[in-house]
Amino acid sequence: MDSMPKASLGHVVLAVVAGWVTNAFLVGVTEVLLWKMMRSPGGKLPGSYFIIDLICQCCFTVVGAYLCCVIAGPSRRVAMFSLMFLGLLIGGLSLPPSWSREPHWYRIALLAVWVPCVWIGWTLRSQRALAKRVIVN
């Protein structure tokens, strides 16, 4: 079995980092805005905050995964699985410290939606790439 060429490996690493950073940036900005808009005077967040944030994070994960697959080009399947692994690893490691601060369902839901949302981003990009090839040929 041939290993991935160094150029492809570099594209995959760049793609995964770009997808992750894009997702993290969008999530960070949105969480700050939601926190400022929705927190009560005592600093408590309503349950609706976590639902809105979960929906936003799903959308941002799709966007980050799509970007990851655009950058990865022909190696987008490897990039997709790498992004899935990175998200589950970081999400799993962040679970224990946040367990007492956030609703348990929220943290579990974030982990549960990560893989399907990355897959959706990959699928959207793959379908677009396929459509381009069909049109060109």
Q: What is the pTM of this model?
A: 0.87
Q: Are 27 and 56 in contact (CB under 8 A)?
A: yes
Tell me the per-residue pLDDT of 29-67, one tens digit each, with 9 for 90 and over.
999 999 999 988 888 899 999 999 999 999 999 999 999
Query: Does the pLDDT value for residue 136 go beyond 90?
Result: no
| Per-residue model confidence (pLDDT) at position 128 | 72
Q: Is 7 left (phi over 0), alpha (psi -120 to 50) or beta?
A: alpha
Instruction: Indicate the pLDDT class of residue 1, thresholds 50, 70 and 90.
Output: very low
Tell me the per-residue pLDDT of 79-111, one tens digit each, with 9 for 90 and over.
999 999 999 999 999 989 988 889 999 999 999
Give the residue extent of every domain in the chain: 7-136
